[in-house]
Amino acid sequence: MRVAVLGAGAIGGFIAAMLARKFSDVAVVARGAHLEAIRSHGLRVQHSDAGSFTASVRAVADLRELLPLDVVLLAVKAQQLPAALEQVKPAIAAGVHFVTMQNGIPFWYFPERALRSVDPNGELRASFPQAQIIGSVVHVSGHVVEPGTIAQSGGMRYIVGTPENGDPTVVDSIVRLFEECGLAPERSVHIRKDIWNKMLGNVSLNPVSALTRFTIRPMLQDDTLRALIAAMMREAITVARSTGVHIEVMPEERIAYAARLSDVKTSMLQDVEAGRALELEPIVGAVLELARDAHLCVPHLETVYALTKGLESSYLLE
């Protein structure tokens, strides 16, 4: 199976390195100093659940250089997907399958419409046939230590499944591929429900950590913040229900699960510290859009969204 990873950051870079240790038909699309470092000395992994190692992997600046391919792992952040679409279109036309690995509500979630917060012009939904989409939920943490070097923690769990009209045999192939290289994939029987189960954490922990600068453990040890996070989760569960997804896990259970994990920085906190644009729209903005469509009141989510949006603007406009 010929595999390319579009976006060799903390998530995509770790998967690519794990795959490249076992298979030769693996390549990454990266840019800038990160691309040059991977070309020069390989993709280095530090302090991971698989140990420290260096993987030799082909690295290019444009996906079109790697065709033909069988599977592309879309590991860029959701707000970066529209800018990458031009280099992806030839692979779409060639029938390649795409695994979406973004936080938040994915662009393909509703076959009949595009979410403005995720896909403002509907171009992503119009470009990717549902039959070529594989959804995934990433339960892994990590960060880029320096160009060419990735650190990973928090387990190696990847949930993979198809939306409507997807090909389950491709999911089986991806699961086997991940298993053979030492990752811990799971087949999903309800990928949208799995997305929402992770969203409970993303929609609450991520923006609150960005605002407070807390890592997970001290944030959840603060009673006031813990109560706020639980309230945000309850609102998100109501929104999920409006889309037909019923979540059994209670906020207190989800918070207890997060508290047991490694004390990590959320991806949104990492982006704030690096002065980067946030994944705010696909995570919180999408939930607010769905709440408005369903005429639901979600005051905690609205307030935290406004504060986090203001925080992002305060440094992006400098």
- DSSP string covering 158-218: EEEE--TT--HHHHHHHHHHHHHTT-EEEE-S-HHHHHHHHHHHHHHHHHHHHHH---HHH
Which among 89, 193, 198, 309 is annotated as catalytic?
198
Q: Which has the closest alpha carbon to 27: 36, 40, 37, 38? A: 38
Q: Which has the closest alpha carbon to 292: 251, 235, 247? A: 235
- CA neighbours within 13 Å on the CB side: how many for 145? 15
Contact between 25 and 71 (Cβ < 8 Å): no
Q: Is 89 a catalytic residue?
A: no
* CA–CA dist 69, 17 (Å, integer): 18
Could you tell me the two tokens for 145?
């230590």
Q: Which has the closest alpha carbon to 57: 18, 99, 85? A: 18
What length is written for the chain? 318
* CA–CA dist 318, 222 (Å, integer): 32
Which residue do the tokens 């453990």 mark?
217
Could you tell me the two tokens for 274?
């690096």
Could you tell me the two tokens for 26?
């693996």
Contact between 63 and 72 (Cβ < 8 Å): yes
| Residues acting as catalytic residues | 198
